[in-house]
Structure 1
Amino acid sequence: MSKIIKEKLTDLGYHFIPETYLQNGDEYYFRNQQFPDYGKFRKLTPEEIKVLVKNDNYSNNWDHVLVTDKFLPEQIQHSKFYGLVRIGDMDDVYLNFRDLRLPCGIYNSTIVSSDFGSTVAIHNVRYMAHFIIGEEVMLANISEMETSSSAKFGNGILKTDDVEERRIRLELCNENGGRSVLPFDGMQAGDVYLWSRYRNDEELQHRFQEMMEAQFSPHHGFYSEIGHHSVVKNTHTIKDIKMGSHAYVKGVNKLKNLTINSSAESYTQIGEGCELVNGIIGYGCRIFYGVKAVRFILSSNSQLKYGARLINSFLGDNSTISCCEVLNSLIFPAHEQHHNNSFLCASLVKGQSNMAAGATVGSNHNSRAADGEIIAGRGFWPGLCVSLKHNSRFASYTLIVKGDFLHELNIRFPFCLVSNEAATNRLIVLPAYWFLYNMYAMMRNTSKFQSRDKRKFKNQYIEYDVLAPDTVNEMFDALAEIEKAVGKAYCDENTASDIQILGKNILFSDEKFAGKDILLDNVEFSRRKVVLAKPKEAYVTYQRMIRYYAVTQIITFLEKQSFAELQTLISSLPATRSLFENIGGQLVPKTKLDTLLVDIRENTISSWRDAHARYHAWSDLYIEDKFKHAVVSLAEVTGTSLSSWNGQFMRKLVEEALETRRWIFAEIEGSRSKDYQNPFKQMVYDSYEEMEEVVGRLEDNDFINRERKGLLDFEQSVKKALDSLPA
């Protein structure tokens, strides 16, 4: 039952903080830190009070309405003031924002214990309590603005004497809450990833929470804030909000318990019909048209629009969700999800991903319990009307063909195509599909995501290249899987006991696989067959792309340094490849990550800011780490020791890399040209010329032309590298 309490009108605007929680007996202790007085405020003169009363204004104590010497009482009209109200400098001007022109001052509003910066325009705010308004702010047609004394602004903290049940948690990756984390302003995808893993390490989990709580005050009495130069209009309810500068909010239904980051360089906009509760919004975000978000973090330069629903989820930088529903998910940067019937639930998606129309990733109709989790490497792409089941795991750049996948999957092959063969009821896995059949779409990813990265401060290196330590390591694992599958297919009682060696020998032979099924184990939790398609082509392509990845790194090195310096450097490298982990889009050597976790346990890293500084340090060294990984990968894929490398060996590989780059460009151009040669693509146009007018000419394709120039530049780099190599 709702309980309405009656109190004296003279008390309205006072006793915001319960007496138990006062600091030094001062109700305004934290308010004065948020809005310093600097001695510029004074009481009203009798003449000013007369003008205010004449203009139909009211206060329960005019002595507590403080102003500066630049006060214009004529610009305060039809308004009520309760408690301590401080009004900054005023000017005889109006503010103009996108054709909204409002005279400065306070009009037709009820103000309770709030502070105003200079030159504000406050119009038709029916109720505002315990807010601090910045300079040159425009507020118009707002029903309700209020603050609770225990406001947390979206952070997962507790105030003094709060009960644990009031804490905000993000229940990520798994519907049962077993990977929940506590959100905080400034939280990055890497923070969430680390916190949501290592659940059996109680000490580490405890330290994560300590680091978060150390950043925030447990005390009561902080006011909501609207930052300088922000505009809020035609909005219903705003409660417990910390809003940055230059934000633009219009037509919103509800904003409650939020931090909204915004600045002149990266301003955030929130539009019509949105309801946002218990969240953190990053810089430069766009949220429009009926969005519903509850218990969420939206990272910088991301978008929610057209009725999107984001619940108990973290969405990484430079991402877009339109129309769709996302629940209990941790999503790394550069995620794209559109169409009203896309559904993503209880998943860890490691970025650069795309959810197609009708895709259903996880829903509890296919389980006897709450949804488990799906883990997908970067570049994850479930196609049209795909339905996947928990628990499943997918390597990087997995493309899934339309269909219902009724069983748990463990896809260990990067860049692969996964499909159901309905006629025979078999699962088909085609490794290296993207390189073999759609190079245009694959290689376009790198430049596409780079161009979409709108971060103003790129102090964290997010890897967008499709060939990187994580995908190369996955390709090495896939090579071993192919060898085992082929070896098992040809193994009998007379063959060697090591089926992987047998498979490798067969793959390097002239053996043809036509008519022989190569089957995979432990890919699908079912009794049906899982067929490895085109194993030899995939095997050769994986090896070729690993060599290309490695040699391109070495060519870059040789552009600036000599082969002798290269030999000196590689002599100190370890003999084994480094493992890398994707933490929030940033690739980190596993050894460095392990060191960070030790430092957190031992309190050497005492805050999340310290952890972020470590991320930034890793970013500075990432290119060097990637180069070292490339060199050791080349030694492994070629089967040669680093000490045996000479000029002749390197010359051969550099020349091969050039041929690979030419092949890549030919495949890029060829895969795109198919769209122009397909008669079914042409049939909706009256002529070929009309098709070109509508979709653009192939020769004008910006990506292909950039790749053509890139090939020419690469040829010059190869020439320099070859010239630097000894004969």
Structure 2
Amino acid sequence: MTPKRKPLTKLGYGFVPEEYLPKGADEYHFRNQQQLTVRTYRQLRDDEIVILNRNGNYSPNWADVWVTDRFLPEQIQQSKFYGRVRIGDMEESFLDFRDLQLPIGIYNSVIVSSDIGGCNAIHNVRYLAHFILGEEVMLFNINEMETSNNAKFGNGILKEGDAESSLIQLELCNENGGRAVLPFEGMQASDVYLWTRQRHDRVLQSRFREITFRRFDSHRGYYSVVGHRTVIKNSHTIKDVKIGTDAYIKGVNKLKNVTVNSIAGAYTQIGEGCELVNGIIGHGCRIFYGVKAVRFILCSFSQLKYGARLINSFLADNSTISCCEVLNSLIFPAHEQHHNNSFLCASLVMGQSNMAAGATVGSNHNSRGADGEIIAHRGFWPGLCVSLKHNSRFASYTLIVKGDFLHELDIRLPFAMVSHDVANDCIVILPAYWFLYNMYALMRNNAKFISRDRRSLKNQHFEYDVLAPDTVNEAFVALREIEIAVGKAYHPAGNPSDWAVKGKAILMDTTIDLHEKEILLDHVENSKRKVVLIKVREGYNTYRRIIAYYAATQLKSYLDTHSVAELRAGYLDRPGRPERIEFENVGGQLIRKPDLDDLLDRIRNGELVEWEAIHQQYHLLSSQYLTHKFEHALAALLEIHELEKSALTPAYLDACLAESVATKEWICREIYKTRAKDYRNPFRQMVYENEEERDTVVGRLEDNAFIQQQQEEYTQYAESVKAIHLLQ
């Protein structure tokens, strides 16, 4: 394509082709609707035009430069104006932001058909076209700011006359695009999760697309917007953007087709060397130092930094990605990935996850086609230099030890450690590893993720507790898996339907030494290699213990505000046995499967026709979650102890609570014990001259804030259990 010559008097006019103008509307129709401040404009007086010309300014049509009665022509210097330009109130002041001090006015800039807000300081903007600026905006040293007449600001929509091929989609979870979604401002991880699932359901998929298109106007003619008090400096290209208030943007190479959400209490900052194209950025985000992001959504209070590459991906709230590369992935809240040599591709990672250095999760180079996927539930932690193969699936809080895993994996035991025994050519799984050997790190996550949740409006409940309906359900699965494995090991020729019963009996009989048998787990790796379970009885008993503890703590929370009589009337005297219902992690929010099915049915049948209505259902289910969680815990209590409701007498409930106090004490003891190992390890000690230097560098064990906090929580928990009088 070559440049076209047109009359200079036409510059700044004809922004929207006539065929796309609404009937009876002019090219300023939508621009006028977008105004950030209501004010009255007038045309320039002759004396003001004289001053403007004397100051080196130029316009082929001064009659189309409109100002307010608080206009100061002396503060417009060496600038050019084309098309209809409207300038807000001015005063003899300067704006000061982080040592950048700029006089209010327009200096050494080219302005094309734009609205300049009140008390703006615009300096050295080489080209500003079709923008609406808020109040007290600072623009300094910017090469190009322009807007297309069919700008979409990062949303996956089509404007009138657009080709279908121009539609922006996020190709998530799979590189072949088979799970693509249309991004939109306000999109939540829950929306994306629902859309990427059930791709065979054409009615549901069609509804998602219709709801998204209905959300936006297909007309052309919307201007880019920069909100009040936003500062942009030393940047190259900014095109088709909608930027909120109080944002700070400096040194960017390119912002194109992007929405940047920002407000005073949660301002977004974008820094040097960044190139962000076709994206939506949430409130309170930090993006700086050479980040490259294309076709992406970054949710509120998340960070991209130090050269991170985020492509065709969705990163949910309170997450951080540094240095590394993430492609075609859907990531739930509270994800951490910091190392330059980690790689994440074609994955669904369900939050509270941590990617170690050298981890390669989802490379399709070890598959025949670029169509594999990995699903990792909460707390996923692939260790140093781990390589995983599509397709694989991991239960919650799976820790994977260093190694190249050349075959597909299906890890169904939560809180397990998975290691590659190269010498014996087998997989080794240690069930309930985190509770047995690293309680400090596991329980620290609870407090860490809650403290990092900076959302000001938490109307969607994100579950951060390691013990919740999803992980407890997985623990029940693990119990049966272990029972079957043990039963098969001791009775390989027996009836497979009897393995679970026989295995449970063996596990409960402490006179039987399980070390005399090799316990193997089936259907874990897509190979003929063995998958060996170790610490089998310890892991099995730990799963039982944490299930009982989860149930008792939820019971205790209920009894803090309800009486035994209310418990009996509300739950125990009802007909039928409480059912332990399946929960699904929907973007960080746990939703009961029947409730989720009902929500999807209402979308299919057209009852819910807007994303806001769907979001309201998330919020409603969030408000009911603690009740649903308690009902699940009650069912889990009966199931783990193999009881009927009639057995839940005050005396039995009192015993359950007492047992939970003992488990809470065990957790505190293990937290201290696992951290104390670091202080007693002579190899850790050898880098210090003495214990005093060690304590100066890393702090005294006795002063550890997290250990002290846990001890205080235990004391408070034990005292509050004593305050519940069940036997009176």
Q: Under a length normalisation based on structure 2, what TM-score does the superposition of the two structures give?
A: 0.98
Q: Is 2:67–2:87's contact at 8 Å kept on the other side of the alignment?
A: yes
Q: Is 1:343 equivalent to 2:328 in the alignment?
A: no
2:158 counterpart SS class: coil
Picking from 623, 626, 638, the partner of 2:626 is 623
Question: CA 1:492/1:276 → structure 2, altered by over 3 Å: closer, same or farther?
Answer: closer
1:316 and 1:654 mapped to 2: Cα distance? 37
Equivalent position of 1:539 in the other structure: 540
1:162 and 1:34 mapped to 2: Cα distance? 22
CA offset digits 1:315-369 (Å, max 9, x no partner): 0100000101000000000000011001000000000000000000011221111
1:142 counterpart SS class: strand
Equivalent position of 2:7 in the other structure: 8
Aligned partner letter, 1:552: T
2:551 and 2:496 mapped to 1: Cα distance? 33
Q: Is 1:412–1:474's contact at 8 Å kept on the other side of the alignment?
A: yes
1:694 counterpart SS class: helix
Moved more, 712-721 or 428-437: 712-721
Q: Is 2:651–2:726's contact at 8 Å kept on the other side of the alignment?
A: no
| Deviation of the 1:25 alpha carbon | 3.5
1:286 and 1:724 mapped to 2: Cα distance? 51
Q: Is 2:578–2:634's contact at 8 Å kept on the other side of the alignment?
A: no
Equivalent position of 2:170 in the other structure: 170
Equivalent position of 1:699 in the other structure: 702
**Aligned pairs (5 A) from 1:577-596:** 577-596=580-599
Equivalent position of 1:452 in the other structure: 452
Q: Is 1:315–1:333's contact at 8 Å kept on the other side of the alignment?
A: yes
Q: Is 1:160–1:220's contact at 8 Å kept on the other side of the alignment?
A: yes
Equivalent position of 1:724 in the other structure: 726
2:545 and 2:67 mapped to 1: Cα distance? 73
Equivalent position of 1:293 in the other structure: 293
Once the two structures are aligned, what percentage of the paired residues are identical?
A: 63
| Deviation of the 1:453 alpha carbon | 0.6
Question: CA 1:247/1:537 → structure 2, altered by over 3 Å: closer, same or farther?
Answer: same
2:515 counterpart SS class: coil
2:38 and 2:497 mapped to 1: Cα distance? 83
2:162 and 2:479 mapped to 1: Cα distance? 55
Q: Is 1:90–1:104's contact at 8 Å kept on the other side of the alignment?
A: yes
CA offset digits 1:532-587 (Å, max 9, x no partner): 11111111100100000000111122222221221222223753201100011000
Moved more, 20-29 or 414-423: 20-29
Q: Is 1:563–1:725's contact at 8 Å kept on the other side of the alignment?
A: no
Aligned partner letter, 1:208: F
Question: CA 1:717/1:26 → structure 2, altered by over 3 Å: closer, same or farther?
Answer: same
Q: Is 1:672 equivalent to 2:671 in the alignment?
A: no
1:60 and 1:278 mapped to 2: Cα distance? 35
Question: CA 1:502/1:256 → structure 2, altered by over 3 Å: closer, same or farther?
Answer: same
Question: CA 1:497/1:283 → structure 2, altered by over 3 Å: closer, same or farther?
Answer: closer
Aligned partner letter, 1:22: L
| Deviation of the 1:725 alpha carbon | 3.1
**Aligned pairs (5 A) from 1:653-672:** 653-672=656-675
Q: Is 1:558–1:724's contact at 8 Å kept on the other side of the alignment?
A: no
Question: CA 1:615/1:495 → structure 2, altered by over 3 Å: closer, same or farther?
Answer: closer
CA offset digits 1:402-435 (Å, max 9, x no partner): 0100000000000000001111011001110000
Aligned partner letter, 1:13: G
Q: Is 1:160–1:219's contact at 8 Å kept on the other side of the alignment?
A: yes
Equivalent position of 2:188 in the other structure: 188
Aligned partner letter, 2:346: A
Equivalent position of 2:398 in the other structure: 398
Aligned partner letter, 2:240: D
Equivalent position of 1:462 in the other structure: 462
| Deviation of the 1:186 alpha carbon | 0.2
Question: What is the aligned length?
Answer: 724
Equivalent position of 1:19 in the other structure: 18
Equivalent position of 1:524 in the other structure: 525
Equivalent position of 1:139 in the other structure: 139
**Aligned pairs (5 A) from 1:367-382:** 367-382=367-382
1:430 and 1:259 mapped to 2: Cα distance? 46
Aligned partner letter, 2:727: L
Moved more, 216-225 or 500-509: 500-509
Aligned partner letter, 2:12: G
Equivalent position of 1:636 in the other structure: 639
1:362 and 1:672 mapped to 2: Cα distance? 33
Question: CA 1:611/1:131 → structure 2, altered by over 3 Å: closer, same or farther?
Answer: same
Aligned partner letter, 2:174: N
Equivalent position of 1:610 in the other structure: 613
CA offset digits 1:661-716 (Å, max 9, x no partner): 11000000000011001010010011110000000111111110000100000111
2:317 and 2:602 mapped to 1: Cα distance? 27
- 5+ unaligned residues in a row in structure 2: which ranges? none
1:396 and 1:86 mapped to 2: Cα distance? 57
2:301 counterpart SS class: coil
Q: Is 1:54 equivalent to 2:54 in the alignment?
A: yes
Question: CA 1:453/1:39 → structure 2, altered by over 3 Å: closer, same or farther?
Answer: closer
Moved more, 160-169 or 237-246: 160-169
1:238 counterpart SS class: strand
Question: CA 1:168/1:679 → structure 2, altered by over 3 Å: closer, same or farther?
Answer: same
1:497 and 1:313 mapped to 2: Cα distance? 44
CA offset digits 1:150-195 (Å, max 9, x no partner): 0000000000121110000000000101000000000000000000
Q: RMSD in angstroms over aligned alpha carbons?
A: 1.1
| Deviation of the 1:117 alpha carbon | 1.1
1:498 counterpart SS class: helix
Q: Is 2:488–2:496's contact at 8 Å kept on the other side of the alignment?
A: no
1:711 and 1:597 mapped to 2: Cα distance? 41
1:548 and 1:429 mapped to 2: Cα distance? 24
CA offset digits 1:233-279 (Å, max 9, x no partner): 00000000000000000000000000000000100000000000000
1:25 and 1:658 mapped to 2: Cα distance? 71
| Deviation of the 1:724 alpha carbon | 2.7
Q: Is 1:291–1:307's contact at 8 Å kept on the other side of the alignment?
A: yes
CA offset digits 1:21-70 (Å, max 9, x no partner): 11223110000001278561000000000000000000111000000000
CA offset digits 1:283-327 (Å, max 9, x no partner): 000000000000000000000000000000000100000101000
Equivalent position of 2:128 in the other structure: 128
1:192 and 1:522 mapped to 2: Cα distance? 30
2:411 and 2:561 mapped to 1: Cα distance? 40
**Aligned pairs (5 A) from 1:53-92:** 53-92=53-92
| Deviation of the 1:648 alpha carbon | 2.0
Question: CA 1:259/1:488 → structure 2, altered by over 3 Å: closer, same or farther?
Answer: same
Equivalent position of 2:421 in the other structure: 421
Equivalent position of 1:275 in the other structure: 275
Q: Is 1:362–1:371's contact at 8 Å kept on the other side of the alignment?
A: no
Q: Is 1:549 equivalent to 2:550 in the alignment?
A: yes
1:61 and 1:531 mapped to 2: Cα distance? 82
Equivalent position of 2:326 in the other structure: 326
Q: Under a length normalisation based on structure 1, what TM-score does the superposition of the two structures give?
A: 0.98
- 5+ unaligned residues in a row in structure 1: which ranges? none
1:296 and 1:38 mapped to 2: Cα distance? 34
Q: Is 1:343–1:361's contact at 8 Å kept on the other side of the alignment?
A: yes
Question: CA 1:523/1:176 → structure 2, altered by over 3 Å: closer, same or farther?
Answer: same
Q: Is 1:496–1:502's contact at 8 Å kept on the other side of the alignment?
A: no
Aligned partner letter, 1:483: E
Q: Is 1:434 equivalent to 2:434 in the alignment?
A: yes
Q: Is 1:363–1:371's contact at 8 Å kept on the other side of the alignment?
A: no
Q: Is 2:578–2:631's contact at 8 Å kept on the other side of the alignment?
A: no
Q: Is 1:213 equivalent to 2:223 in the alignment?
A: no
**Aligned pairs (5 A) from 1:351-390:** 351-390=351-390
Aligned partner letter, 2:404: D
2:497 and 2:391 mapped to 1: Cα distance? 33
Equivalent position of 2:105 in the other structure: 105
2:723 counterpart SS class: helix
